[in-house]
Structure 1
Amino acid sequence: MNHNTTLRFLAIAEGISYLCLGITVPLKYKLGYTLPNLIVGMTHGILFMAYCYWIVLVGQTTRRDRNFFVVGLIMSLIPFGTFWFDKKYLSTKD
């Protein structure tokens, strides 16, 4: 598995975990179920940090421009953003 493939996997996984937080946060605050939020929150945090690390790694090893870094990191903060980033920037570079 090369760096770009790993980044694509992390982008999809991070995006899914972000959307799962949208389910578990209401469970925590409305119904009092904390365990799902604990699990999904920790998973999302780890995937987010790994995604940010791989954005920098892939950007430097493939000598991408600064726009790649900025857009990749901003898209990690927006729901469905990593899916768009994968389609726009990563799927065409395989």
Structure 2
Amino acid sequence: MSNTKRTLKQFCNVALIEGISMVVLVAFSVLKRTTDYEWAVLGVTYVGWAHGLLFIAYVYLLWMCADRYKWKFRRVVLFFVASLIPFAPFFVEKQLRREQ
């Protein structure tokens, strides 16, 4: 597998995992604010930390794919905004898998 295809595959995988981490983080955040569960606070802390790292990986791989595939600015902005909206990274991942 070439480096270019490997980068796109990594971006797809990170988009999926980043989307899952955002949904889990939102769930822990709601639990933290609506319950007295101590583990909800820990969930926000650790899932938030992991989600932050995944977000950085997502943005880095987005930049790498944009450079290698010469994506239009509009697409890059759309994919970046998708990283900020719960469930939207799943659509990014699905779109990229269709294109592979």
- Rounded to whole Å, the distance in 2 between the matches of 1:92 and 1:64 is 16
| Structure 1 unaligned spans of 5+ | none
Does the Cα contact within 8 Å between 2:13 and 2:93 map onto a contact in 1?
A: no
> Which residue number corresponds to residue 99 of structure 2?
93
| Structure 2 unaligned spans of 5+ | none
Name the TM-score, length of structure 2 as normaliser. Answer: 0.85
Name the % identity.
Answer: 30
CA RMSD of aligned residues (A): 1.4
Q: Which moved more, 1:58-67 or 1:2-11?
A: 58-67
Q: CA deviation at 1:60?
A: 0.2
Moved over 6 A (4+): none
Aligned length: 93
1:15 equivalent to 2:15? Answer: no
- Rounded to whole Å, the distance in 2 between the matches of 1:91 and 1:68 is 15
Kindly name which structure, 1 or 2, has the bigger radius of gyration based on alpha carbons: 2
- Rounded to whole Å, the distance in 1 between the matches of 2:18 and 2:90 is 9
Name the TM-score, length of structure 1 as normaliser. Answer: 0.90
